[in-house]
Structure 1
Amino acid sequence: MAETEQEIKARKERERDELYALDISGVEWRSAPGTEEHEERVEIADLPDGAVAMRSSLDPDTVLRYTEAEWTAFVLGARDGEFDLEPAPHDGEPGADA
């Protein structure tokens, strides 16, 4: 039997609460190869059950946590260009505010 919308919402809230309750003080953070220690970078850490934690090197106390399903959806979307930013129009170009 398929979950109802309310059951799905309750399950996702429970998963989020469990994920944020994890002690991640001992996780190993990694960043993109070639970045220097002093450079701003995104850091990733693997958590249990395929979950992932993400933070900025400039704000290591603010950590976002994603379930395996959320992380997979994000990575696949990024690979497909779903998060590509369009350049802002410049003066004199089509779409620029006059």
Structure 2
Amino acid sequence: MTLDDPIRHHLDSSLPWQGISGEYTLHLGQECKVSAGHSKKLPQLNASVGGFSRLWLGAASATRLATSGDVTAADDLIENLDRVFLLPTPATGWQF
């Protein structure tokens, strides 16, 4: 996955932290993990931080995010993400 963090456009380039943009490999399953770098054996997903967050939290489907341009990927990957991310709709108004 290539993740784009728009905060980088608003940070001074001399600061050590420039957001979380970068290349990542995601392993989804009973045990999920993320590692730096993209595995060439896996399909490519491009996402904004906001788009990926909405997908991960169940706030929007991969198809909806692809339609809005917040994620891009091959059609078969979008379909698979829609199939595996069957999360309940987030509840607003949670008391933290």
TM-score, normalising length: structure 2: 0.24
The higher-RCO structure (CA 8 Å, 6+ apart) is 2
Tell me the TM-score normalized by structure 1: 0.24
